Amino acid sequence: MRRLRRPQSLAELALPQRPGALPAHVRILGLDPGSQRTGYAIVETQATRVAYIASGAIRTRGESLAERLQEIFAGVEALASEFRPDEVAIERVFMSRNADSALKLGQARGAALSATFANRPRVFEYAPREVKLAVVGTGGAQKEQVQLMVKRLLNIAGPLAEDAADALAIAMCHAHSRRLQGLVSLAVGVVR
């Protein structure tokens, strides 16, 4: 397996990537952050396939938001340490009608993301509509449709929790996006 060169600093994580710089075989951590439950998924890309490794949810029990954020950080840090993802795909924060909920979601997202930084993975963000479009074929898909398609695409038998399904959908969206980027880079290289 060809290993992705890890960035040497946090500043390098923000630098634009060269076209075609994404290898075909990587481990992806998909995150669907929430202050009560943070969904996670681990998949690997293998050429044109996406292979399921693990998924689940980190359920917080803390009384205060600070305690729940610590639990999210510790849970994601343990996942990153165990699975050592090359790339992290996370849902982009969207503005809802309730500003307090959006702020809590943003804090949960920050706790989850910062827990992965010791491994220095590349980080990619996707809007909820992008994720649904990539997995179901329509940006307005319902949660049940996302769950069903994730199970079918990854050949998962048995029940799949909503948070885990969302995290798997985010990871799959990223896997499809990076494959498309590779095809575009290849086509551009052929044209030149």
Q: What is the pLDDT of residues 37-68, one digit of tens each?
A: 999 999 999 877 899 999 999 999 989 999 99
Catalytic site includes residue 87: no
161: region left, alpha or beta (phi > 0 left; psi from -120 to 50 alpha): beta
CB contact at 8 A, 113 and 123: yes
Residue 139 near residue 132, CB atoms below 8 Å: yes
For residues 166 and 41, give the distance between their C-alpha atoms in angstroms, rounded to a whole number. Answer: 9
Q: Which one is catalytic: 77, 87, 163, 166?
A: 163
The dihedral region occupied by 109, where left means phi > 0, alpha psi between -120 and 50, and beta the remainder, is: alpha
The answer, yes or no, to whether residue 14 has pLDDT greater than 70, is no
100 in active site: no
> Cα 33 to the chain's mean position, in Å?
10
Q: How confident is the model at residue 140 (pLDDT cuts 50, 70, 90)?
A: confident
* Span 103-120, pLDDT tens digits: 888 899 999 999 999 889
User: Active site residue: 32, 77, 86, 166, which one?
Assistant: 32
Is 163 catalytic? The answer is yes
Residue 81: pLDDT above 90?
yes
> Vertex 153, ends 152 and 159: CA angle to 5°?
45
